[in-house]
């Protein structure tokens, strides 16, 4: 039986947007729509998904996307989108409703928390990235700047207003609890999931992405490289390994980090580096199965700030992972706890190159089995049940019980 209250999902990214955030928010909205009245406030352009019984109702919020490199225009566009979403929420929300949002763009959660408080609704935030920490980590803000302090003050008010915060990494709890507005009973750990079926994929030398590469051992890098990632360390490791004919780097993705990698390769023309155009979803399984080892390169101070969603699909195809990260970060914890690969210190290209050499001379059969087993624990059904339980708890008790 459906509740009389409804669920509102507010997201700038939603299908047909091809981003990971769009896919995650659509999965959650469609699952909740099976048992609740769900409205999606979508900022994505293009044809909207079909609606009907058991499906969310889509409401378009006018939005103009700017490139990640165009920071001023992007900030203005995101502020305008957050303002429009706030007005849409004031129209949609009623007392007792639940609104769910995500930290993309970073100004959206403030608008959601304010609108929910004004309309006496309950609010929950999925924290993919913690701001301003991400911007400080990327060197775009100074830790003690006026803007950083202002954002932290706004966060304290937002966390006080929110009824729940969903983290996708265990490492996020510590920085969250540093805010006076945050309490442990508000935090729910619901990791993201693999979109590919967990199963060992054998290495095939006729794989279309591997065919023609001269080396025996392929190191892959895939996905969005944003402000939290370090493309320079990958290229520096490739430069250190340029004379090893057995090792080749296969790179495919988007974002400012990949633009930097292309620039570096244009200048150096390393023989052991190849680029592939952005891989569509239908080709993702074949692409991930093409490499022997996958790298996820983070900058310093990633712990508690960001978790790579691509991580779970790398495990699902049965490949070891080489993570550039602090050891206390969520992905690093998972790698070490389950013996899924290697973790190296951010900024140390020599350590990265040494780990790649070690991986190239290791037997990965046992790691492949453990990776697939680990990926099977990060599945869609488990995550969807956790989101449904949280929404039901918010509908029953907006303050969430202290008894966990």
Examine the pLDDT at 9 and tell me if it is beyond 70: yes
Nearest to 3 by CA among 34, 32, 35, 31: 35
Show the CA angle centred on residue 144, arms to residues 160 and 165, nearest 5°. 25
| Alpha carbons 332 and 342: distance in angstroms, whole number | 8
For residue range 302-350, list pLDDT tens digits in order.
787 777 778 999 999 999 999 999 999 999 999 999 999 999 999 999 9
Q: CA geometry: angle at 153 spanning 177 and 192, to 5°?
A: 45
Write b or e for each residue in 179-208: b if 16 or more Cβ atoms lie within 10 A of its Cβ, otherwise e: beebbeebbbebbbbbbbebeebebeeebe
Long-range contacts of residues 105-109, Cβ cutoff 8 Å, at least 24 apart:
105/12, 105/78, 105/81, 106/78, 106/131, 106/134, 107/78, 107/79, 107/82, 108/10, 108/12, 108/78, 108/81, 108/82, 109/158, 109/162
Of 201, 126, 112, nearest to 158 by C-alpha is 112
Q: What is the pLDDT of residues 176-230, one digit of tens each?
A: 999 987 899 999 999 999 889 999 999 988 899 998 898 999 999 998 888 889 9
Predicted confidence (pLDDT) per residue in 341-395, tens digit: 999 999 999 999 999 999 999 887 889 999 999 999 988 999 999 999 999 999 9
What pLDDT is attached to residue 228? 85
Is 132 within 8 Å of 147 (Cβ atoms)? Answer: yes
> What are the respective helix, strand and coil percentages of the chain, to the nearest 5?
40, 15, 40
Query: For residue 249, which of 205, 219, 222 has the smallest C-alpha distance?
Result: 219
Decide if 135 contacts 227 (C-beta within 8 A): yes
Q: How many C-beta atoms lie closer than 10 Å to residue 263's C-beta?
A: 12
Q: Residue 170, Cβ neighbours under 10 Å: how many?
A: 17
Give the pLDDT of residue 310: 83
DSSP string covering 9-31: EEES--TTS-SHHHHHHHHHHHH
Mean predicted lDDT score pLDDT of the chain: 90
pLDDT reported for residue 402: 42
- The encoded tokens of residue 381 equal 């059904």
234 vs 211: CA distance, rounded Å:
22
Residue 303: is the preceding peptide bond cis (ω within 30°)?
A: no
User: What domains are there in the chain, each with its CATH number?
Assistant: 6-193+379-396 (3.40.50.2000), 217-377 (3.40.50.2000)
Length of the chain counted residue by residue: 404
Residue 156 burial (CB < 10 Å; 0-12/13-18/19+)?
A: middle
For CA atoms 350, 355, 356, 357, give the dihedral sign. positive
Strand 164-167 versus strand 37-42 pairing type: unpaired
> Which positions ≥6 away from 39 have C-beta within 8 Å?
6, 7, 8, 9, 56, 57, 58, 59, 92
């Amino acid at each position: 039986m459906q509740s009389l209250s409804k669920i509102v999902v507010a997201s700038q990214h939603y299908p047909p947007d091809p981003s990971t955030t769009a896919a995650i928010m659509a999965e959650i909205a469609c699952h909740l729509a099976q048992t609740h009245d769900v409205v999606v406030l979508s900022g994505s352009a293009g044809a909207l998904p079909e609606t009907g019984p058991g499906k969310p109702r889509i409401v378009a919020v006018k939005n103009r996307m700017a490139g990640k490199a165009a920071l001023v225009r992007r900030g203005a566009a995101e502020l305008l989108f957050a303002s429009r979403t706030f007005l849409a929420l004031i129209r949609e929300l009623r007392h007792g409703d639940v609104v769910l949002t995500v930290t993309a763009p970073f100004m959206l959660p403030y608008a959601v928390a304010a609108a929910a408080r004004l309309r006496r609704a309950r609010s929950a935030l999925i924290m993919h990235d913690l701001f301003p920490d991400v911007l400080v980590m990327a060197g775009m803000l100074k830790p003690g700047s006026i803007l950083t302090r202002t954002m932290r003050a706004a966060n304290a008010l937002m966390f006080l207003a929110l009824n729940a915060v969903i983290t996708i990494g265990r490492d996020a709890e510590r920085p969250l609890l540093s805010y006076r507005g945050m309490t442990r009973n508000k935090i729910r750990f619901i990791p993201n999931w693999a979109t590919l079926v967990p199963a060992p994929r054998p290495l095939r030398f006729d794989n279309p992405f591997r065919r023609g590469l001269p080396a025996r051992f392929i190191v892959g890098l895939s996905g969005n490289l944003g402000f939290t990632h370090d493309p320079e360390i990958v290229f520096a490791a490739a430069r250190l390994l340029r004379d090893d004919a057995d090792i080749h780097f296969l790179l495919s993705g988007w974002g400012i980090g990949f633009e930097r990698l292309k620039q570096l390769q244009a200048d150096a023309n390393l023989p052991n580096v190849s680029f592939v155009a952005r891989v569509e979803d239908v080709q993702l399984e074949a692409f991930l199965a093409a490499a022997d080892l996958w790298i996820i390169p983070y900058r310093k101070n990633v712990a508690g700030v960001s978790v790579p969603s691509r991580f779970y699909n790398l495990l699902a195809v049965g490949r070891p992972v080489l993570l550039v990260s602090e050891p206390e970060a969520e992905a690093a914890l998972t790698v070490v706890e389950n013996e899924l690969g290697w973790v190296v210190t951010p900024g140390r290209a020599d350590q990265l190159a040494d780990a790649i050499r070690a991986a190239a001379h290791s037997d990965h059969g046992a790691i492949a089995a453990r990776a697939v087993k680990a990926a099977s624990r990060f599945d869609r059904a488990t995550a969807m049940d956790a989101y449904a339980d949280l929404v039901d708890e918010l509908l029953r008790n907006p303050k969430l019980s202290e008894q966990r």
